[in-house]
Amino acid sequence: MATKHPPDDSQPSVHAGGRPPALKPEHIAILLEIVAERAQASLQEIADELHRRSGVRVCDATIRRALRAQGVVRIKPVRRVYIAGKAAKRYGYTAAHRRENVPPYSTNLTDAEWELVADLFDRAPGQRGTPVHYSRRELVNACCYVLRTGCAWRLLPTTFPPWQAVYKAFSRWVSAGVFEQMQDRLREQWRSRMGRASAPTAAVIDAQSTRTSPQGGESGFDAGKKVKGRKRNLVVDTLGLVIAVTVTAASVQDRDAAAAVVAQACAKVPGLERLYTDGAYGGKCARNIEQTHHIRAEVVRRPGNGATGTLHDPAQSPVPTAEISAGFVALPKRWVVERTHAWTERWRRTVMHHDRKLAVSAAWVWLAEARMLLTRLAYQC
Domain holding 255, by residue range, is 194-307+330-361
pLDDT band with cut points at 50, 70 and 90 for residue 12 = very low
For residues 52-70, average pLDDT: 89
Residue 320 lies in a domain: no
**Which CATH number belongs to the domain containing residue 8 in this structure?**
1.10.10
**Which CATH number belongs to the domain containing residue 292 in this structure?**
3.30.420.10
Judge whether 110 and 99 are in contact, CB under 8 Å. yes
- What integer pLDDT is reported at residue 1 of this predicted model? 45
Secondary structure of the chain: what % helix, strand, coil (to 5)? 45, 15, 45
Structural domain count, the chain: 2
Residue 57 lies in a domain: yes
Residue 247 lies in a domain: yes
CB burial of residue 14 (10 Å; 0-12, 13-18, 19+): exposed
**Residue 5, pLDDT above cutoff 60:** no
74, 107, 132: which is the final residue of a domain? 74
**Residue 54, pLDDT above cutoff 80:** yes
**Residue 14, pLDDT above cutoff 80:** no
Residue 322 lies in a domain: no
- What integer pLDDT is reported at residue 220 of this predicted model? 95
- What integer pLDDT is reported at residue 79 of this predicted model? 58
43, 74, 105: which is the final residue of a domain? 74
185-222 per-position pLDDT tens digit = 999 999 999 999 999 999 999 999 999 999 889 999 99
Residue 101 lies in a domain: no
pLDDT band with cut points at 50, 70 and 90 for residue 182 = very high
pTM over the 0.75 mark: no
**Residue 324, pLDDT above cutoff 60:** no
169-181 per-position pLDDT tens digit = 999 999 999 999 9
- Torsions phi, psi of 260, nearest 5? -70, -45
